[in-house]
């Protein structure tokens, strides 16, 4: 009886290098997040009426940047997983989509100051974040736990964005 074993998957990039892509992309986005929030939105944001829980951007920008950066360590675990686990591909895709949607939110909020549109994108980003965390936990619980701060910051921004819209009649 001749049983054929499937050929191992071939990667275009060495898997040991591929795992660093999550941290690299997250680091670039974290730096962009910090710069856009501090330099692009501080004057506009400080002129708005904010709720009591609306912290100054000098506090929020570093926390947001740190949350994006730390999520890269969870992505490193997922990106470097070559075990054949079927949950890896959806986790990779959902994280990539989450980062793209975060970048869109960042541009709408910090660069263009469109609070209403950024609120809509933030809600979508939150939903993608919940889905992504579920997929990360399916791959490795450590990976999922490293992305939780990013989801918490997304939740905070969603609430803050909604309150900014209502308090400023935008």
Q: Using one digit for the tens of pLDDT, what is the confidence trace for 38-56?
A: 998 989 999 999 999 999 9
- Tokens coding 169: 């009649």
Instruction: Look up the pTM and report it.
Output: 0.85
Spatial separation of the C-alpha atoms in residues 59 and 141, rounded to whole Å: 29
* CA angle at 61 for the pair 169 and 24, rounded to the nearest 5°: 125
Structural contact between residues 95 and 75, judged by C-beta atoms closer than 8 angstroms: yes
Q: How far apart are CA 104 and CA 101, in angstroms?
A: 5
Q: Is residue 33 part of a domain?
A: yes
User: Domain for residue 125, yes or no?
Assistant: yes
Any domain includes 1: no
Q: Is residue 103 part of a domain?
A: yes
Question: Quick one: what percent of the chain has pLDDT higher than 90?
Answer: 71
Residue 49 belongs to a domain: no
Please state, in angstroms and rounded to a whole number, the distance separating the CA atoms of residues 70 and 82: 21
Tell me the mean pLDDT in the region 59-68.
94
By residue range, what is the domain housing residue 103? 16-41+57-167
**Percentage helix, strand, coil for the chain under 3-state DSSP, each rounded to 5:** 75, 0, 25
6 in a structural domain: no
Closest alpha carbon to 140 in 93, 99, 80, 100: 80
Q: What CA–CA distance (Å, rounded) separates 36 from 49?
A: 20
Tell whether 51 is covered by a domain. no
Residue 16: its pLDDT value, please? 67
Q: Number of folded domains in the chain?
A: 1
What is the DSSP code (8-state) at residue 51? -
Residue 10: pLDDT over 60? no
Round to whole Å and give the CA distance between 99 and 118. 15
> Is 46 inside any structural domain?
no
């Amino acid at each position: 009886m001749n049983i054929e074993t499937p050929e191992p998957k071939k990667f275009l990039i060495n898997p040991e290098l591929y795992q660093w892509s999550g941290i690299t992309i997250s680091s670039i986005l974290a730096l962009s997040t910090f710069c856009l929030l501090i330099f692009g939105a501080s004057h506009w944001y400080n002129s708005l009426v904010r709720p009591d829980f609306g912290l100054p951007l000098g506090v929020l920008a570093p926390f947001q940047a740190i949350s994006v950066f730390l999520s890269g360590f969870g992505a490193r675990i997922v990106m470097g997983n070559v075990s054949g686990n079927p949950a890896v591909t959806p986790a990779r895709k959902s994280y990539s989509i989450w980062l793209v949607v975060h970048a869109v939110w960042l541009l709408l909020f910090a660069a263009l100051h469109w609070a209403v549109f950024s609120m809509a994108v933030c809600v979508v980003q939150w939903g993608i974040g919940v889905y992504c965390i579920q997929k990360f936990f399916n791959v490795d619980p450590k990976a999922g736990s490293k992305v939780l701060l990013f989801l918490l910051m997304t939740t905070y921004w969603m609430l803050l964005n909604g309150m900014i819209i209502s308090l400023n009649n935008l």
